[in-house]
Amino acid sequence: DAGVIQSPRHEVTEMGQEVTLRCKPISGHDYLFWYRQTMMRGLELLIYFNNNVPIDDSGMPEDRFSAKMPNASFSTLKIQPSEPRDSAVYFCASRPRDRALEAFFGQGTRLTVV
């Protein structure tokens, strides 16, 4: 398996623009997580899905953030409108059903909002 695939790897956008980050989890994994990494706050959980259903989005910072998982092989994280403070590295991770097994992370998307 190719692992968790995120795109794009880097995104530079202007303040106010819409940004969409994409994630393809590992096939057969039931859980998908979106994390954000910043210098100030470290790694934060934004939202997670189980079998394509959002379970908890309490980590989403504002209504400007939304996430979807239309099918088992694809998820998006959208920011509209984007702001400079959204600049961060966004990671997607997926995990199998067996709780004893670990989560696998994608390479991340480095977002810069100017």
Partner 1 sequence: GDSVTQMEGPVTLSEEAFLTINCTYTATGYPSLFWYVQYPGEGLQLLLKATKADDKGSNKGFEATYRKETTSFHLEKGSVQVSDSAVYFCALSADSWGKLQFGAGTQVVVTP
Strand, helix or coil for residue 52: coil
Site string for partner 1, 55-74 (x = CB under 8 A): xx------------------
* Residue 95 CB neighbours (<10 A): 19
- Euclidean distance between CA atoms 101 and 96, whole angstroms: 7
Asked whether position 5 contacts partner 1 by CB under 8 A, the answer is no
List Cβ neighbours of 62 (8 Å cut-off, separation of 6 or more): none
Q: Which residues contact residue 100 at a Cβ distance below 8 angstroms, ignoring those fewer than 6 apart?
A: none
Q: How far is the CB of 17 from partner 1 (least distance, A)?
A: 24
What is the closest distance, in whole angstroms, from the C-beta atom of residue 81 to partner 1 in the complex? Answer: 27
**Positions in 88-107 near partner 1 (CB under 8 A):** 91, 93, 95, 99-100, 102-107
Interface contacts to partner 1, rule CB under 8 A: 4, 31, 33, 35, 42-43, 45, 48, 50, 55-56, 91, 93, 95, 99-100, 102-108
